[in-house]
A and B are shown apart, each in its own frame.
Chain A
Amino acid sequence: MPLQGNLRDFSTTQLLNLINLAGKSGTLTFFEGKRTGEVENLGDQKRERIVAGQERAAMSFRSGKLIFAKMTGQDGSLISVLNKAGKLTDEQARIIRERAKNTTDKALALLLINANYVSQNDVVTCIQQHTLDVVYNLMAWNDNPFRLDEDVHPDGSRIQVPIDLENVIIEGARRIREIAELNQHLPNLDMALKFPDNPKEKFKGIHLSVEEWRVVSFVNPKNTIRQIAKANNMSETEIRRVVYGLEQAGLVEMVKPPGMEQAAAGDRRRRPPQKPQVQRVTVNRLIDKIRSI
């Protein structure tokens, strides 16, 4: 049975770690998250149920190594990859595409190497970089259903370059850490923003990007950061990045919007833990009893 879930619960980095440690083979497919409008209940937390829609991307693995990755709708053929990397000109790529319509990537690679268009190293490096680009792009996704099918493998005609997952995970984790730091700095998007005293002074000589101006135009103690993000059609990460920059520059300050409740104090004082005084013979009696049930 396939492993399946959603990236909002289990990140790409965690999935890659699982595949690496367990030495798994197969194909990990990511889907568009289709919102159902239904609410699912996770104890205290309620959220909208998301089901798998169309396929968006896939990565394949052999014995815990990444061997292939593709984005739906993106041309990942050898010609495109070499063209994108500057190893083939647009004109060369067009001619080869025309003449080698029914040739597999593997066969084409041999032809190109034999014809001295590219070296074997060029092919390997470009395919590897393309695969990594796809994977790093995927690392930013956080709301997509996924499924790992251990009996699905990539088409044999594709060139597969095994890549150790450790480095991919480290780089992926670094990118996610950047997002986590922003989340840590700005954990509550229900806070509002206000201008500091003497805002005109602070804004003097400052050059803001278009996105920053869009945020600044909504700054008001009555608007939460979440509302500003929504009004500007920005993701949570995007708004965090902008607000962080504005705050660090002293251009805005965070305030509680009117009516915001104080967060419940979760750090109740705890008594020091106490171990029960139970003897070995008692545990053995419990074992005997449970065995006999």
Chain B
Amino acid sequence: MQTVKMVITGPFSAGKTEFIRSISEIEVVSTEQNISTDAEKKEKEQTTVAMDFGRITVDDDLVLYLFGTPGQRRFDFMWEILAEGMLGFVVMVDSAKPETFREAKSILETFRAYAPTPYVVAANKQDHPDAWSADDLRIALRIEEGVKLLPCVAKDKESVKGVLLELLYSILEEMDAG
């Protein structure tokens, strides 16, 4: 049985767990912990402390694993472990939270340093009234033209499929390029 791994990363509350939950065939194995303070609860009730784990079975011989990284820097010791052997990665960005853009860019650079694998950037929460457009995000995050920056709504399965397919197309393109 061959297993293939993709990593879904991004800042705290960017929508990584939701993304995996939308497409995984199994109930996502989440290592989430209740958030303790009221201030943090305003953002979300739980946060991932080690990783999320989702699965897509292609057939008896091939399985795709989706690993979601914890967003907080204090858990970044997990990032490198999760990045090991990944086929590619998705950087999730909360398009409605410009205060997280700098962190998103930093995470992107960190993962690029871990492994020279293809990646795409998902401009999540595009259904939010305050969401920055993908074009504006590209400029804000200084994402190169050759890198795909895709509008995304992580709770919408079709949108998640679109992001994963674009990542796979990028992987094919890189294989073609040699």
Contacts and interface: CB of A to CB of B under 8 A. Distances in A.
Contact of A9 (B12, B102, B117, B130): B102
Contacts of A261: none
Contacts of B117: 275-276
A276 B74 CA distance: 27
A42 interface: yes
Contacts of A29: none
Contact of A5 (B5, B43, B59, B99): B99
Interface in B21-49: 23, 35, 37, 39-40, 42-43
Contacts of B13: 43
A282 B3 CA distance: 10
B4 interface: yes
Interface in B101-149: 101-103, 113-117, 129-132, 135-136, 139-140
A268 B81 CA distance: 13
A249 interface: no
Interface stretch (A14-22, A54-62, A95-103, A112-120): A14-22
Contacts of B62: 282, 285-286
A284 interface: yes
B132 to A, nearest CB: 6
A40 interface: yes
B136 A278 contact: no
B39 A46 contact: yes
Given A10-B98, A41-B40, A18 B114 contact: no
Contacts of A283: 87, 168, 171-172, 175
A39 B35 CA distance: 14
A6 interface: yes
A274 interface: yes
A43 B85 contact: no
A5 B73 contact: no
B130 A286 contact: no
A286 B161 CA distance: 11
B89 to A, nearest CB: 12
A18 B103 contact: no
B99 A287 contact: no
Given A44-B74, A280-B175, A39 B39 contact: yes
B99 A9 contact: yes
B106 to A, nearest CB: 11
A14 B141 CA distance: 10
A273 B39 contact: no
Given A40-B42, A289-B56, A289-B58, A22 B129 contact: no
A10 B35 CA distance: 28
Interface of B: 2, 4-5, 11-13, 23, 35, 37, 39-40, 42-43, 56, 58-59, 62, 64, 71-74, 77, 80, 84-87, 98-103, 113-117, 129-132, 135-136, 139-140, 157, 161, 164-165, 168-169, 171-172, 175
8 contacts: A1-B131, A18-B139, A21-B139, A41-B12, A43-B103, A282-B62, A285-B62, A291-B165
Interface of A: 1, 3-6, 8-10, 14, 17-18, 21-22, 38-44, 46, 268, 270-271, 273-276, 278, 280, 282-291, 293
Given A4-B130, A274-B115, A291-B165, 9 more contacts: A6-B98, A17-B139, A43-B13, A43-B73, A276-B117, A280-B175, A283-B171, A290-B56, A293-B56
